[in-house]
């Protein structure tokens, strides 16, 4: 119950912040930025912002690799929340984290989609892609421009904080996924993965044994 209350509090707090307390939103600039990103006009986009936008997608994929298995055993399936998170980021994800019940089992067959999510190759691809994004943003990014936009633009500000929440909340589902694979009792391993934001969970996807059917 405390976990659910905490998650709903985080969700409501973030929503209130984005709607009422964050820097103002500049609709035209935001739409222009999204159009440039989605139409591959990347030369005119700050690499920090471009990398951050892509890392949000990595986070959604990371959670999907865990929660589509979890959702198979829940009263509420995960896929509506996965679709919602594509459009709204962590705002669409947190309600599932709050509504789900603790579950350490998986039964039934893995279809092609679940086999893809369960594959270590998928984890390796996401890890390499993430490392490339981090390198691209760190080396080529204009960090002064990013900081200015973070402080003055609601979209950049909210996206940055959403990325932090994605990283912060992953341990809430990590333990159950490890238990489904027979590893939750190893608390040191749990904390090793949980305390390294993003890269720890990605390394876990590369290492975790496939679920037995």
Q: What is the DSSP letter of 43?
A: G
Q: What is the pLDDT of residue 183?
A: 85
Q: What is the pLDDT of residue 212?
A: 81
The mean predicted confidence, pLDDT, of the chain is 95
Q: What is the pLDDT of residue 125?
A: 98
Kindly list the distances between the CA atom of residue 211 and the CA atoms of 25, 107, 118, 194, in Å, as whole numbers in the listed order: 44, 9, 7, 20
pLDDT of residue 213 exceeding 90: no
pTM of the model: 0.95
- Cα separation, 52 vs 146, whole angstroms: 10
pLDDT tens digit sequence for 52-110:
999 999 999 999 999 999 998 899 999 999 999 999 999 999 999 999 999 898 988 89
pLDDT tens digit sequence for 109-125:
899 999 999 999 999 99
Which residue do the tokens 């405390």 mark? 2
Q: What is the pLDDT of residue 186?
A: 72
- Cα separation, 166 vs 213, whole angstroms: 29
Give 7 or 102, the one with higher predicted confidence.
Answer: 7
Which of 9-23, 101-115, 132-146 is least confident? 101-115
Q: Is 61:126 a contact under the CB 8 Å cutoff?
A: yes
Q: What is the pLDDT of residue 109?
A: 87
Q: For the chain, what's the residue count?
A: 213
Measured between its terminal Cα atoms, the distance across the chain in Å is 31
Kindly list the distances between the CA atom of residue 17 and the CA atoms of 52, 149, 154, in Å, as whole numbers in the listed order: 20, 17, 10
Region label for 135, one of left (φ > 0), alpha (ψ between -120 and 50) or beta (otherwise): alpha
Q: What is the DSSP letter of 5?
A: H
pLDDT tens digit sequence for 154-211:
999 999 999 999 999 999 999 999 999 988 767 889 999 999 999 999 999 999 999 9
Q: What is the pLDDT of residue 163?
A: 98
Q: What is the pLDDT of residue 187?
A: 82
Q: What is the pLDDT of residue 185?
A: 64
């Amino acid at each position: 119950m405390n976990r659910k209350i905490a998650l709903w509090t985080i969700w409501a707090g973030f929503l209130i912040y984005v709607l009422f307390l964050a820097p103002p939103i500049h609709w035209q600039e935001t739409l222009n930025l999204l159009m440039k990103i989605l139409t591959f006009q990347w030369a005119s986009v700050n690499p920090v912002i471009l990398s951050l936008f892509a890392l949000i997608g990595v986070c959604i994929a990371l959670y999907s690799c865990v929660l589509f298995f979890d959702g198979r055993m829940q009263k509420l399936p995960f896929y509506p929340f996965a679709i919602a998170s594509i459009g709204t980021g962590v705002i669409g994800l947190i309600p599932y984290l709050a509504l789900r019940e603790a579950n350490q089992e998986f039964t039934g067959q893995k279809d092609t989609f679940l086999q893809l999510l369960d594959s270590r190759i998928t984890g390796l691809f996401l890890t390499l892609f993430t490392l490339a994004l981090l390198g691209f943003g760190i080396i080529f990014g204009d960090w002064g421009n990013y900081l200015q936009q973070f402080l003055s633009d609601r979209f950049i500000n909210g996206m940055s904080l959403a990325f932090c929440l994605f990283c912060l909340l992953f341990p809430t589902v990590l333990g159950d996924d490890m238990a489904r694979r027979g590893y939750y009792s190893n608390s040191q391993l749990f904390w090793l993965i949980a305390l390294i934001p993003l890269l720890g969970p990605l390394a876990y996807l590369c290492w975790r044994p496939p679920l037995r059917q």
